[in-house]
């Protein structure tokens, strides 16, 4: 299962937002691993490698870091908790950090199950909320109005106090995945009033609940529950085997403390929790290492 952050579409996206992709290795014709390099004027570069699979080619990464004059390399393995891998990371100079750039904990739903089985594994209140939204006349439809989604997403971020990121980068990422048939937007309405929305990404038979947004109005209509349920059904229709809820609260990562609310929402849909080994950084410059100890930074 290749994560979208190691896909050719992500390579295209990152190339256009100022990161240089460097192929580390090729596992198969359809599976490549990339390091992403961000040049810093007169200072060298930063390198991050999201969702890298085992075995990790430490020597190759060190050579790339030397060539690119890296200040540090940040690795976030696509591996569940693994004491042996953590030992190898430590031996090779990587230290655990608490500023992840990809979700370190998530929920995955098995889409090979029937709709009836998926509903039965949900919490009772979640099933009730889905049916309540339907009874209240909430409808969900696909559309391609990214500006409409962005407006609602910005409202959601401001209300829930989470970082959104540059709008133009979000639009570029969506356009690239949409052009490849690997992105969908779902909108929930009551009559003509927009109540909730979701952005889905699809890659390697997995659907990712990448962004979600909701209005502060008419919350009793439970529109977000219906949007997520319709997202799950759409993923099944597309032949996906797994639905990844793309992040829940992780006590190891302080920046996820504001995720507790939607973590409870996501857990209501069942599925299994997946806890990745975490985020690790190797510093090649002692001054930068000191700076990161003093401050709180993220890529």
Provide the 10 A C-beta neighbour count for residue 294: 7
pLDDT on residue 264: 96
pLDDT on residue 245: 98
Among residues 98, 214, 219, the alpha carbon closest in space to that of 153 is found at 214
Residue 11 backbone phi and psi in degrees, to 5:
-60, -45
Tokens of 87: 């030992």
**pLDDT class for 291, splitting at 50, 70, 90?**
low
Among residues 41, 71, 73, the alpha carbon closest in space to that of 60 is found at 73
Is 105-275 a CATH 3.40.630.30 domain? yes
* Between residues 36 and 292, the one the model is more confident about: 36
Q: What is the DSSP letter of 55?
A: S
Distance CA 275, CA 250 (A): 9
CATH class of 4-102+276-294: alpha beta
Q: Is the pLDDT of residue 187 over 60?
A: yes
Among residues 60, 49, 38, the alpha carbon closest in space to that of 6 is found at 49
Distance CA 98, CA 103 (A): 12
Q: Is the pLDDT of residue 298 over 80?
A: no
- Please write down the HEC assignment for all residues of 81-104: CCHHHHHHHHHCCCEEECCCCCCC
Q: Is the pLDDT of residue 115 over 80?
A: yes
Q: Is the pLDDT of residue 30 over 60?
A: no
pLDDT digits (tens, 9 = 90+) for 124-171: 999 999 999 999 999 999 999 999 999 999 999 888 877 788 999 999
Query: According to CATH, where is 3.40.630.30 located in the chain?
Result: 4-102+276-294, 105-275
Distance CA 258, CA 254 (A): 9
């Amino acid at each position: 299962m290749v994560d979208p952050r190691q896909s050719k579409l992500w390579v295209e996206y990152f190339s256009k937002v100022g990161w240089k992709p460097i192929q580390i290795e090729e596992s198969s014709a359809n599976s490549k691993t990339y390091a992403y390099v961000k040049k810093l004027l007169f200072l060298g570069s930063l390198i991050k490698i999201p969702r890298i699979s085992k075995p990790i080619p430490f020597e190759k990464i060190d050579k790339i870091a030397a060539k690119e004059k890296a200040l540090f390399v940040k690795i976030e393995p696509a591996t569940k908790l693994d004491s042996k891998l953590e030992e190898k990371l430590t031996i090779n100079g990587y230290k655990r950090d608490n500023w992840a750039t990809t979700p370190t904990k998530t929920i995955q739903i098995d889409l090979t199950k029937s709709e009836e089985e998926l509903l039965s594994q949900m919490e009772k209140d979640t099933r009730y909320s889905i049916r309540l939204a339907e009874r209240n006349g909430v409808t969900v439809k696909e559309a391609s109005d990214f500006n409409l989604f962005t407006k609602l997403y910005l409202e959601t971020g401001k209300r829930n106090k989470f970082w959104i990121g540059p709008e133009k980068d979000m639009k570029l990422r969506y356009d690239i995945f949409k052009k490849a048939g690997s992105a969908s937007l779902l909108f929930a309405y009551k009559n003509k009033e927009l109540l909730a929305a979701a952005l889905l990404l699809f890659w390697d038979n997995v659907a990712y609940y990448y962004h979600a947004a909701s209005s502060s109005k008419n919350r009793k209509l439970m529109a977000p529950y219906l949007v997520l349920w319709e997202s799950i059904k759409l993923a099944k229709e597309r032949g996906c085997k797994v639905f990844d809820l793309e992040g829940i609260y992780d006590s190891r990562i302080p920046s996820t403390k504001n995720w507790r609310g939607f973590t409870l929402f996501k857990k209501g849909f069942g599925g299994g929790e997946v806890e990745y080994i975490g985020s690790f950084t190797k510093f090649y410059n002692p001054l930068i290492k000191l700076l990161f100890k003093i401050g709180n930074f993220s890529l």
